Amino acid sequence: KICALLGCNGCGKTTLSRLILGILKPSAGTVTVFGRRPGSQLSGIPGPRVGYMPQDIALYPDLTVAEALRYYAMIYSMGAKLTADRIHEFRELLDLPEDHHFVGQLSGGQQRLVSMAVTMIHKPRLLVLDEPTVGLDSILRARIWEYLENQCKLNELSVMITTHYIEEATSAATVSFIYNGRCLAQSSPQQLISQYQCHKLEEVYLQLCIQSNKDIKEHSYAGPSAHPTQTSDDNTSAEIMTDKMRPKYEFRVNRVKTLVWKNWLRLQQNPSALFMYHLFPLLLIYGLHVCFGSPRRIPIAIHTAADEWAADPLSTRFTAAIDDRLFNYTIHATNESAVRSVSDGHSVLSVTFARNFTDSFRTRLLYPIDATDEELADSQILVYADMSDIQGYYAQYYLWQTFNRFLAGVAPETQYNPRALSLPIDVYTEEDTDYSFSNLFIPGFLVSCVYTVTVTLSALFSINDRSRGQKERDLVAGVTALEMMFTHHVIITINVLIQTSLVIVFAFYILEYRLLGSVADVYGLLVSVALEGMALGSFISLLFKDDVMATAIATYISTPLYVVSGVFWPIESMPILFQSVVKWWPITGPIISMRSVLFRGWTVLSYEVLFGYAICWLYAIVFTIFNIFLSINT
């Protein structure tokens, strides 16, 4: 038979439906369907014995009509022939759109028809329809009611419909009036009209609501006037209460394959989003490469005293030693003009040579013991620097390089070995040192970029399904939360593997960043970081239901990590106590490991590299355990 639940918005119709479907658990009392508690092993609810059509469309908009119907048929383990027959039957009954049309491109009425077909495709024993005919024309509503009445007679189908259309409910065998979370009355439409001496059900409902409000004020509400009949299927109440509940950790390969198939189809139908997911890290790395290189053509101002333009002045030879790729210099007539150029922001350094620089510098080199204080002062190169940004530090470093070249050119004129005039320090590295900031930043940038993108993707991937009602519909179909989480992780892991490969090829083979270690270690570290981020993203999606809030939380978590995890500056600059704490943060260890692989050539056999792997997997395992617990208990 058909039972219609009538009531205003917010009165409890949808909540009652969710209790019957086993989505919600009653805080008191029990609910039985076909003599079994929803969620028990033998109830089939959630599962194949029930079909649920929520008030929202709750279909995947990026699947076609045929794919949506086939997806739920596969969830219910229906064969291909039976699925095709049922789709053909509903196409004639409901005038469904063509198979190739995407659900998201259909009108609201057409989407509701597809939703109805999905609900009934597996011939369940119970249909729970929440506002099923909203937005449909009267002719189609009549056809649907006629079909449901025939199915009740021929296949012993039970139907529970929540609706606003009171005139539509007159066709139901039983009507239940719901108000403020209570069943005011339940019986056949004719009996209710006769019992309350009204002409229409609408008048009955109004009279019951008025009486209920009076009873509430007088604290004398005594419950519904007509109690629902209960079907026990020969089960005693003791047997019902001892029903074994369905395992929360249930995991079936058939459903997992179907979920993976569905998620993969959805990704294929969103190539732009997939493309941006893989392209975004590459754009960030390229931006780092272009924007964080070593400063070049730094503007400097040079002043040389007038008599330094004598024959072969050393100040001219110093100027000639300047590398035009590093400095862009201008000659100033006075020291004040050169210094003012720095103060006004036109130059980064001013370099001033004293009037007797040439003679004084030669005296300093050849007769350092006999040099007077005045000669030592005149042999100094006076530098006024603007240290307001990083260019000042680079300019000083480049100036030291220029002075060494200048000194190497002057040394042959003395009687000393050229090495005696240079600093007695020799620095050796495994290869030429590259002081490019992008090269120094690349270990932390790779780790933080992969981590942040995966955290956000994982959080939004799960929330997107839940916010549109698809997750609830899948749960009613019998899919478990554990299966959903597993398939989400499978799809994200596949994309992580692809993205990591693209990042490595782009960074180390196209942009040619320095790599002394193994590509396998870099790949393993980045994949481990991504899996850690995936676990955190899933955790965020379980705690926060809104996609905007989840994105904000992911940002709030990631931003401090950039500052204190060694992304742009080594943690050794922090206080010792702070270092010992920060070292255990999600991406600090992996960044240290990545730096050791790239610049030292170390492998996973070394402690620092192994520590990075351990941090990633520790966080991934902990968050995965939390995710499993939250998924099966919410």
The DSSP code sequence of 26-38 is -SSS---BTTB-T
Alpha carbons 278 and 286: distance in angstroms, whole number: 13
- At 218 the pLDDT is 66
- At 434 the pLDDT is 54
**Is the model's pLDDT at 427 over the cut of 90?**
no
For residues 247 and 261, the model is more confident at 261
pLDDT tens-digit readout, 195-214? 888 888 888 888 888 888 77
Identify the CATH number of the domain in which residue 414 sits: 3.40.1710.10
The reply to whether omega before 412 is within 30° of 0 (cis) is: no
Q: Which residues pair with 52 in a beta bridge?
A: 128
Average pLDDT of every residue of the chain: 85
- At 219 the pLDDT is 61
The phi and psi torsions of 608 (rounded to 5 degrees) equal -65, -40
Please indicate, yes or no, whether residues 417 and 510 belong to a single structural domain of this protein.
Answer: no
Inter-residue contact 31 to 37 (CB < 8 Å): yes
Residue 332 neighbours by CB under 8 Å, 6+ apart:
301, 302, 303, 338, 341, 350
**Is the model's pLDDT at 222 over the cut of 90?**
no
Percentage with pLDDT > 70 across the chain: 92
What is the rounded average pLDDT of the residues 37-54?
87
Cα angle 32, 34, 35 (rounded to 5 degrees) comes to 55
Please indicate, yes or no, whether residues 359 and 237 belong to a single structural domain of this protein.
Answer: no
**Is the model's pLDDT at 403 over the cut of 50?**
yes
Alpha carbons 107 and 109: distance in angstroms, whole number: 5
**Is the model's pLDDT at 221 over the cut of 50?**
no
**Is the model's pLDDT at 367 over the cut of 90?**
no
Inter-residue contact 38 to 46 (CB < 8 Å): yes
What is the rounded average pLDDT of the residues 556-562?
82
Alpha carbons 320 and 286: distance in angstroms, whole number: 35
Residue 503 neighbours by CB under 8 Å, 6+ apart:
281, 282, 285, 446, 449, 450, 526
Q: Closest Cα to residue 160, out of 94, 228, 108, 96? A: 228
The phi and psi torsions of 182 (rounded to 5 degrees) equal -125, 150
The radius of gyration computed from the CA coordinates of the chain, to the nearest angstrom, equals 38
Identify the CATH number of the domain in which residue 238 sits: 3.40.50.300
Alpha carbons 175 and 162: distance in angstroms, whole number: 10
pLDDT tens-digit readout, 598-622? 988 999 999 999 999 999 999 999 9
Alpha carbons 2 and 188: distance in angstroms, whole number: 10
What is the rounded average pLDDT of the residues 50-77?
91
Number of residues written out for the chain: 634
Please indicate, yes or no, whether residues 445 and 417 belong to a single structural domain of this protein.
Answer: no
Please indicate, yes or no, whether residues 404 and 473 belong to a single structural domain of this protein.
Answer: no
Please indicate, yes or no, whether residues 401 and 489 belong to a single structural domain of this protein.
Answer: no
Please indicate, yes or no, whether residues 269 and 213 belong to a single structural domain of this protein.
Answer: no
Total-model pTM = 0.79
Q: Residue 26 domain-assigned? A: yes
Q: Closest Cα to residue 487, out of 328, 331, 290, 266? A: 266
**Is the model's pLDDT at 597 over the cut of 90?**
yes
Please indicate, yes or no, whether residues 451 and 478 belong to a single structural domain of this protein.
Answer: yes
Q: Which residues pair with 175 in a beta bridge?
A: 4, 187
> Which of 16-25, 149-158, 216-225, 563-572 has the weakest average pLDDT?
216-225
- At 431 the pLDDT is 59
The phi and psi torsions of 370 (rounded to 5 degrees) equal -90, -5
The number of folded domains in the chain is 3
**Is the model's pLDDT at 486 over the cut of 80?**
yes
Q: Residue 251 domain-assigned? A: no
Please indicate, yes or no, whether residues 404 and 331 belong to a single structural domain of this protein.
Answer: yes
- At 347 the pLDDT is 94
What is the rounded average pLDDT of the residues 577-588?
90
Please indicate, yes or no, whether residues 88 and 196 belong to a single structural domain of this protein.
Answer: yes
Please indicate, yes or no, whether residues 230 and 163 belong to a single structural domain of this protein.
Answer: yes
Q: Residue 514 domain-assigned? A: yes
Sheet holding 327-332, edge to edge: 327-332, 298-304, 349-353, 381-385
Q: Tokens 């899948």 label which residue? A: 474
Please indicate, yes or no, whether residues 59 and 202 belong to a single structural domain of this protein.
Answer: yes
The DSSP code sequence of 45-108 is TTTTTEEEE-SS--S-TTSBHHHHHHHHHHHTT--HHHHHHHHHHHHHHH-PPPTTSBGGGS-H
Q: Residue 588 domain-assigned? A: yes
Q: Domain boundary residue among 393, 421, 449? A: 421
pLDDT-derived band of residue 310, with 50, 70 and 90 as boundaries? Answer: low
- At 328 the pLDDT is 93
Residue 123, number of CB atoms within 10 A of its CB: 14
pLDDT tens-digit readout, 428-476? 766 555 557 788 889 999 999 999 889 988 887 777 766 677 888 898 9
Q: Residue 250 domain-assigned? A: no
**Is the model's pLDDT at 224 over the cut of 70?**
no
| Residue 417, CA atoms < 13 Å, CB-side half-sphere | 4
Q: Which residues of 65-82 are buried (b: 16+ CB within 10 A; e: fewer)?
A: bbbbbbbbbbbbebeeee
The DSSP letter of residue 421 is: G
pLDDT-derived band of residue 50, with 50, 70 and 90 as boundaries? Answer: very high
**Is the model's pLDDT at 377 over the cut of 50?**
yes
H/E run at residue 182: strand 182-187
pLDDT tens-digit readout, 126-181? 999 888 877 777 777 777 788 888 888 888 889 998 877 777 778 888 988 888 88
Alpha carbons 514 and 308: distance in angstroms, whole number: 45
Alpha carbons 243 and 253: distance in angstroms, whole number: 25
Residue 552, number of CB atoms within 10 A of its CB: 13
**Is the model's pLDDT at 107 over the cut of 90?**
no
pLDDT tens-digit readout, 488-531? 899 999 999 999 999 999 999 999 898 999 999 999 999 999 99
Please indicate, yes or no, whether residues 361 and 222 belong to a single structural domain of this protein.
Answer: no
Q: Residue 544 domain-assigned? A: yes
H/E run at residue 286: helix 271-291
Q: Residue 114 domain-assigned? A: yes
At how many degrees (to 10) do helices 80-94 and 65-75 cross? 130
| Residue 461, CA atoms < 13 Å, CB-side half-sphere | 31
For residues 225 and 210, the model is more confident at 210
- Distances in Å between the Cα of 355 and the Cα atoms of 150, 359, 634 are 111, 9, 83
**Is the model's pLDDT at 235 over the cut of 50?**
no
- Enumerate the H helices of 477-544 as residue ranges: 481-504, 519-543
- For residue 405, what are the domain limits? 298-421
Q: Tokens 């196409």 label which residue? A: 91
Q: Residue 196 domain-assigned? A: yes
